[in-house]
Amino acid sequence: MKKDCKKLHEMNRRQFLERLGMGSATALTLITFGPVGAAASKTPRGSISSPLGAAGDGPECSMTYRTQNGTGEKISLLGFGMMRLPREQEAVNELVDYALAHGINYFDTAPMYGGGSNETATGLALSRHPRDKYYVATKMSNQNEALWPFEKSKEMYENSFRKLQVDYIDYYLLHSVGGGGLDNLKGRFIDNGLLDFLLEERKAGRIRHLGFSYHGDVKVFDWLLDNNDKYHWDFVQIQMNYLDWNHAQRRGGRRRGDANAEYLYGRLEKLGIQCVIMEPLRGGSLSNVSDDIREQLARARKDDTPARWGFRWVGSHPGVLTALSGMNRMEHLKENVETFSPLEPCTTVENELLARIADKMSGLDTIGCTTCAYCMPCKYGVDIPGNFAFYNKAVVEGRLPLPDSSAPDYEEKRKAYLEAYRAAIPDKARANRCQDCGECLKKCPQQLPIPTHMSRLVEMTRKKS
């Protein structure tokens, strides 16, 4: 659906809130629109910005921005996730240049991304632009116990400055807390004095905003927020999408302890802590929906892709500072820029439609993999996310053979599934190569029982007597 930019910008604050199905008293204090590289105003914490500003002068509408609490910095509601970048630096530069030219100013990376190369690639691309035109986020990725000693973690922190070619980091995160529970959190950040060090770095200005990204045991999430008076978190990164809003718990083979996104967002909202959103499309599963769901969405907004629906839903929440998308292809970047330039919030009717779709999708027997590839590489060569992505797509499209081997079409479906599987996954990367070593278990932020799922995939291709 082509946007009428002028009409959208002319909406007043009350009309905007009504589109979201909120009362005018709702704390929608963080939404603002502005030009690329808009100077940050010193907005006091909790002050109200105009939800809609002037439209862009050109044929395209301007990017949607949110205002960072306390500093007034204008952050693009669409953030660039730098996890999966092209191998060629020139291609990375091209993507970054287009993003900056079209209003994206938040770039998220980590020391572990790209096998350790993505911080360098991000730094090379961004350093070609004025430092005040972008905000860079990176993380303390010391999940490996060998990196828990303070000096090892401090070395990772200092390397990030060198690779990113910066003398301060705008947004710094404790990476992927929750896995391993409170003992893991304390070993990585508390007992070694690392969090105290990072707090001092924030005080010195080398870290502008300090937060954490969360996966796993909700007790860790709650503990960090219960101690907010001590740590004063500037932001928190959570997984949020219209499926995980009410259907994250014990879905897709996860272990117990995770929480629905509604709970995570609600706790942060009460504390006035803004969210950075990861997996707004749940690893692509919300852009690769079944034909019947695609038809339902098209009837409501004929020109919107399923991906655009997912982004609009996330961006409609006022506590979201930015929503990350891993855009390693120019066509995806361009579509996402259009979606957020400016964002059209979901209406109450549209939210109800997505909730019904989520209820239906939650009943599918998919594996809760978001294809983040934290589990990779597998020392036995198994393409873990590739295997799971193939299986999930077959589930969504109804191509799995029924468990009942006596079904009339069982053997036909089994053969068709096996043929497609062999064409999609190379022999050396297939599920039957899994040796159940368990190395992937401690790496998976979704806490999936990966070897168990691999055994299940192998069993599916086995002929039953």
**Which residue type occupies 158?**
E
* E-state strands within 336-458: none
* E-state strands within 92-245: 106-108, 135-140, 169-177, 207-214, 235-239
* Torsion region of 23: left, alpha or beta (phi above 0 gives left; psi -120 to 50 gives alpha): beta
For Cα atoms 166, 167, 173, give the angle at the middle one, nearest 5 degrees.
80
Tokens linked to 401: 């053979």
For Cα atoms 265, 266, 271, give the angle at the middle one, nearest 5 degrees.
100
pLDDT at 104: 98
Rounded Cα distance between 287 and 396, Å, is: 12
Q: CA-CA distances (angstroms) from residue 29 to 25, 52, 67, 97, 191? A: 10, 11, 8, 30, 37
Could you tell me whether strands 64-67 and 31-33 are parallel, antiparallel, or unpaired per DSSP bridges?
Answer: antiparallel
pLDDT at 180: 87
DSSP, res 32: E
Q: 5-362, what's its fold? A: TIM Barrel (3.20.20)
Rounded Cα distance between 146 and 107, Å, is: 28
CB count, 10 Å around CB of 115? 8
**Residue 345: cis peptide before it, omega within 30 degrees of 0:** no
Could you tell me whether strands 320-325 and 169-177 are parallel, antiparallel, or unpaired per DSSP bridges?
Answer: unpaired
Based on DSSP, count helices (H) and strands (E) in the chain, helices before strands: 18, 11
Q: Which residue intervals of the chain bear CATH 3.20.20.100?
A: 5-362
pLDDT at 114: 84
- Looking up tokens 């893991």 gives 184
Rounded Cα distance between 147 and 28, Å, is: 41
pLDDT at 460: 72
DSSP, res 447: -
Contact between 37 and 133 under an 8 Å Cβ cutoff? The reply is yes
Residue 322 bridge partners (DSSP): 276
Rounded Cα distance between 214 and 244, Å, is: 14
Tens-of-pLDDT digits for all 465 residues of the chain? 444 444 443 344 344 444 444 443 333 333 333 333 333 333 333 322 323 222 233 334 599 999 999 899 999 999 999 998 999 999 999 999 999 999 999 999 999 988 889 999 999 999 999 999 999 999 999 999 999 999 999 999 999 999 999 999 999 999 999 988 999 999 999 999 999 999 999 999 999 999 999 988 999 999 999 999 999 999 999 999 999 999 886 554 444 457 899 999 999 999 999 999 999 999 888 998 888 999 999 999 998 999 999 999 999 999 999 999 999 999 999 999 999 999 999 999 999 999 999 988 887 677 777 777 778 888 889 998 888 888 877 777 777 776 666 677 777 878 888 888 888 889 898 888 888 888 888 777 767 778 878 887 877 766 654
**Residue 408: cis peptide before it, omega within 30 degrees of 0:** no
SS (HEC) of 54-93: CCCCCCCCCCEEEECCCCCCEEECEEEECCCCCCCHHHHH
Tokens linked to 306: 């399923």
- In this structure, the dihedral spanned by the alpha carbons of residues 305, 306, 311 and 313, taken in order and rounded to 10 degrees, is 120
**Sign, CA torsion 125/128/129/134:** positive
Rounded Cα distance between 322 and 37, Å, is: 16
Tokens linked to 92: 């990375």
**Global pTM value:** 0.76
